Amino acid sequence: MTTNMVKVLKISKVGGEKVRKKLIEMDALDNSYVLGKTGNFLLFPLKKSRGIVKEFGGKIVDRNLRKVSKPVTGLKEALGKILPSSLAGKFPRSFDQIGDIAVLEIPRGLGKYEKVIARTLGRINPRINVVAKRAEKYSGKYRIRPITVLDGENRSETIHREAGVRLKVDLNTVYFSPRLGKERLRISKLVGKKEKVLVMFSGIAPYGIVIAKKNPGVEVWNVEWNPHAVELAEENIKLNKLGKRVHSLSGDVRKVIPKLKKKFDRIVMVLPFDNAEFLVDALMVSKKGTIIHMYSILNESEVDKFKVKLEKRHSLKVFDVVKAGAYGPKMWRYCFEMQST
């Protein structure tokens, strides 16, 4: 607790609220200090004292008052109080929150402080029970980016909430990104009343579950080959009571899709880089007018060429290209909105 000697207006408690309002109007009240009290008098901390007694009566005196302590809300601000100020430019500002797990990227040069950073983040955010760092990149055929717990409970499983659904996730065995939450919601709002939707590369089924939850007449099929993700997708479908309308199919999309004896109204394709290679499979279960949302991470300069290539190689028309999140310098996750012709 910090106290300082400041000039105050010592004045009777009677009519104190009026004095406070007028001091604020005159920009004379120093609200970086807590208002003081003594007996029947109030002590108003002042920014300026000229003309005050003439205006209100009372006396100007010096008193020790307590500084208002601002709550620490940001990680950067909290670290500023603990770590050397020479490192301030490197402090992490943001983190991903998946359920009650916070996932940080520890900037280069701060490795030896990673535990302090993690402990600080856990302390300022009461909803976080695990603080972890992530491997640098997603990798392998299941696109996993495992975590290392730095503080809190030693686990990688949690329940993430978004758009009114609950999703059980294990960050060490499946792909999941909370950053796609806005995108899932956007797509769910485009879905028509009785559509049949196919989600290719569906992971723990977040797209399918959000789409089905927001559209009670819709049926969704998810296809995923990571057995851990399929298991969690099935749990998530039950957790959100969508068992009758959301289906989970396990296996390589190239093998599963030819066995599907139906055509879909809408298809979502969620691979970061090689989606276009699977358009042939998507078109196999499309009819004229099927909408396909296909994501691709590209440099800004590549988008037009990519669009032309898609239309040239396949029977479809790209009717929109939506930026669905930043990926790197001039790199974006684009959603190509297409209709089969």
CA distances 60 to 47, 178, 260, Å, are 12, 56, 85
CA distances from 129 to 22, 78, 156, 308 (A): 46, 18, 11, 48
Q: Could you say whether residue 43 binds ligand SAM (CB under 6 A)?
A: no
Closest contact distance (angstroms) between CB of 180 and ligand SAM is 5
Q: Is 44 in the site for ligand SAM (CB under 6 A)?
A: no
Distance CA 23, CA 46 (A): 9
Nearer to ligand SAM, 29 or 174 (CB): 174
SS3 letters across 24-71: HHCCCECCCECCEEECCEEEEEECCCCCHHHHHCCEEEEEEEEECCCC
Q: How far is the CB of 223 from ligand SAM (least distance, A)?
A: 6
DSSP output for 257-309: GGG----EEEEEE--SS-GGGGHHHHHHTEEEEEEEEEEEEEEGGGHHHHHHH
Q: Which residue has the tokens 């290209």?
A: 321
Does 236 interact with ligand SAM (rule: CB under 6 A)? no
- Find the binding residues for ligand SAM in span 302-331 (CB under 6 A): none
For ligand SAM, the closer of residues 8 and 167 by Cβ is: 167
Q: How far is the CB of 99 from ligand SAM (least distance, A)?
A: 14
For ligand SAM, the closer CB: 44 or 264: 264
Using the minimum distance from each CB to ligand SAM, give the nearer residue, 46 or 198: 198
Q: Does 8 sit near ligand SAM (CB under 6 A)?
A: no
Cβ(285)–Cβ(262) under 8 Å? yes
Site for ligand SAM in 265-304 (CB under 6 A): 270-272
Strand order in the sheet with 286-299: 246-250, 219-224, 196-200, 264-269, 286-299, 331-340, 316-328
Q: Please, are residues 131 and 155 in contact by the beta-carbon 8 Å criterion?
A: no
Tokens 């099927």 correspond to what residue? 290
* Shortest distance (Å) from residue 215 CB to ligand SAM: 18
Residue 196, φ and ψ in degrees, nearest 5: -105, 125
Q: Which is nearer to ligand SAM, 46 or 174 (CB)?
A: 174
- Please work out the total of residues on this chain that contact ligand SAM, with binding judged by CB under 6 A: 21
- CA dihedral of 28, 30, 31, 34, whole degrees rounded to 10: -130
Residue 221 binds to ligand SAM (criterion: CB under 6 A): no
d(CA 60, CA 37): 14
Q: Which of residues 159-218 bind ligand SAM (CB under 6 A)?
A: 175-176, 180, 201-203, 206-207
CB of 224 to ligand SAM, least distance (A): 5
Residue number with CB closer to ligand SAM (34 or 271): 271
Residue 99 binds ligand SAM (CB under 6 A): no
Q: How far is the CB of 120 from ligand SAM (least distance, A)?
A: 29
Least separation in angstroms between residue 254's CB and ligand SAM is 6
Q: What DSSP state is assigned to residue 154?
A: S
334 near ligand SAM, rule: CB under 6 A: no
* Piece in contact with ligand SAM (CB under 6 A), picked from 95-103, 222-230, 310-318, 329-337: 222-230
Report d(CA 234, CA 289) in Å as an integer: 30
**Binding residues for ligand SAM, per CB under 6 A?**
142-143, 175-176, 180, 201-203, 206-207, 223-226, 229, 252-254, 270-272
